[in-house]
């Protein structure tokens, strides 16, 4: 069910500004030159002629720290998927803006603050958040939330937007631009999302896929963002190598 269109708020230096986003008639698609190639594995790889993610698009914006780090490159399929899911969320749940954080560097390789993100197939997506009155906010940084969905830094200022975040998971699962292997996030957030999906009567097939793909990566809880990893594009193999589970629906 589509919710009533709420206000969009952007908080800058204590000032609250209205945010206006206009979605195009069709979702933008990255132009695939096929010069961009993922090589190796996500934590020991590189990227040949990485494609850049524009700073803003329909339903999303790249956060400033990732622009400064020049961590905004990936394979064309990853770039197209980000645009696709942001566009879908803008149309289905108007009012939110997807905060996109680190991808890879232009030539891949080691990147500060990450053990992976080396081969152009990883991206960090910030949570959709609400203020305590239920209005969506433009999330521009990593805001951790507790098991009940309330922010801890700053405490009790924001709430996890379960509706939009679940829609994001569904959009990632159904993406036509890339095949998602993992969505790394904390066990607590996974529980919130799956409980919401069951209460809303979501498709058992989609719930099962989400249950398999949502994963807490060891001690790194990922309680402040989704870390999304896609499979190697077909044209990049065998230079690009997948590691781990290959879901039946992604073959």
Q: Does residue 111 lie within any of the structural domains?
A: yes
51-70: pLDDT as tens digits: 999 999 999 999 999 999 99
2-14: pLDDT as tens digits: 444 444 444 433 3
Residue predicted with more confidence, 112 or 119: 119
Q: Does residue 188 lie within any of the structural domains?
A: yes
Q: Does residue 7 lie within any of the structural domains?
A: no
- Structural domain boundaries enclosing 190: 32-250
25-51: pLDDT as tens digits: 445 554 544 579 999 999 999 999 999
The residues pairing with 225 across neighbouring beta strands, listed in sequence order, are 126
CATH label of the domain that carries residue 144? 3.30.1380.10
Give me the phi and psi of 171, to 5 degrees please. Answer: -65, -40
Q: Does residue 13 lie within any of the structural domains?
A: no
Q: Does residue 16 lie within any of the structural domains?
A: no
Q: Does residue 25 lie within any of the structural domains?
A: no
Q: Report d(CA 60, CA 83) in Å as an integer.
A: 8
Instruction: Rank 27-31, 34-38, 188-192, 220-224 by mean pLDDT and report only the highest.
Output: 188-192
Query: What percentage of the chain reaches a pLDDT higher than 70?
Result: 86
* C-alpha closest to that of 126 among 72, 60, 27, 56: 60
Looking from the CA of 59 toward its CB, the CA atoms found within 13 Å total: 24
């Amino acid at each position: 069910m589509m919710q009533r269109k709420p206000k969009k708020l952007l908080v800058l230096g204590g000032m609250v500004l209205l945010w206006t986003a206009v979605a195009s008639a069709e979702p933008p698609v990255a132009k695939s030159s096929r010069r961009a190639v993922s090589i190796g594995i996500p934590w020991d790889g590189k990227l040949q002629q990485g494609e850049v993610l524009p700073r803003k698009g329909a339903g999303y914006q790249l956060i400033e720290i990732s622009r400064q780090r020049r961590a905004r490159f990936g394979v064309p399929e990853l770039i197209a998927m980000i645009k696709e899911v942001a566009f879908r969320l803008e149309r289905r749940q108007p009012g939110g803006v997807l905060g996109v954080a680190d991808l890879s560097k232009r030539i891949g390789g080691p990147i500060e603050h990450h053990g992976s993100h080396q081969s152009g197939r990883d991206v960090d997506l910030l949570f959709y958040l609400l203020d305590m009155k239920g209005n969506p906010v433009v999330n521009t940084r990593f805001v951790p939330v507790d098991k009940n969905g309330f922010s801890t830094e700053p405490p009790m200022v924001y709430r996890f937007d379960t509706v939009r975040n679940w829609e994001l998971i569904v959009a990632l699962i159904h993406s036509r631009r890339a095949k998602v292997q993992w969505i790394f996030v904390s066990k607590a957030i996974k529980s919130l999302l799956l409980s919401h999906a069951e209460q809303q009567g979501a498709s058992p097939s989609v719930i099962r896929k989400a249950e398999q793909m949502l994963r807490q990566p060891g001690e790194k809880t990922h309680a402040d963002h989704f870390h999304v990893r896609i499979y190697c594009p077909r044209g990049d193999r065998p230079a690009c190598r997948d590691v781990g589970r290959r879901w039946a629906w992604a073959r």
